[in-house]
Amino acid sequence: MGTNHPIKPTVFFDGVCNLCNRSVLFVIKRDRQAKFNFAPLQSAYAQYHLTALDPATNDLNTIVLLKDGKVYKRSRAILEITRCLSGLWPLLYAFVVLPAPLRDTVYDWVASHRYTWFGKKDECMIPTPPLRSRFIP
């Protein structure tokens, strides 16, 4: 499956999750150099590319960052993303010193409640025309 998108770090997210969609918009606003592309985990693009690299990425409860051929999931993906944002957000990367099981326990707890707390859509978000080039269908 080919793509016309440049090879940029790609954030894969649950496309029907309101919290996930807000998080993507948060990243876009602070990603002033447009370093990231985005794709819903539900997309054929995600299934094709992520399954080839890491078959365990079929979990929609997990944010995934594909960067330089490496797959980052859950809290590590978030830390890797914040590391590239403008402002003071890269300082959050300091939390990488905490053990991954501790960070991921917090991540999993929020992920398991995200639909209850923030709701969900019936279908994946449709990006606005100015943002469309950063989204991979």
Domain residue limits at 45: 10-134
In a domain, 2, yes or no: no
126 is a domain residue: yes
The pLDDT assigned to 2 comes to: 46
If one counts the domains in the chain, the total is: 1
Cα 59 from Cα 62, distance rounded (Å): 6
Q: Find where tokens 């590590």 sit.
A: 76
Assess if residue 127 is contained within a domain.
Answer: yes
Handedness of CA 41, 47, 50, 55 (dihedral sign): positive
**Tens digits of per-residue pLDDT, 74-84?**
999 999 999 99
Q: pTM here?
A: 0.85
Element housing 73 (H / E)? strand 70-73
Give me the pLDDT at residue 28, please. Answer: 93
Evaluate whether residue 64 is within a structural domain: yes
Give the pLDDT score at 91: 96
E strand or H helix at 43, and its extent? none
Arithmetic mean of pLDDT over the chain? 85
Model confidence over 27-69: pLDDT tens digits? 999 998 999 999 998 888 888 877 777 666 666 678 999 998 8
Cα dihedral across residues 124, 128, 134, 137: positive or negative:
positive
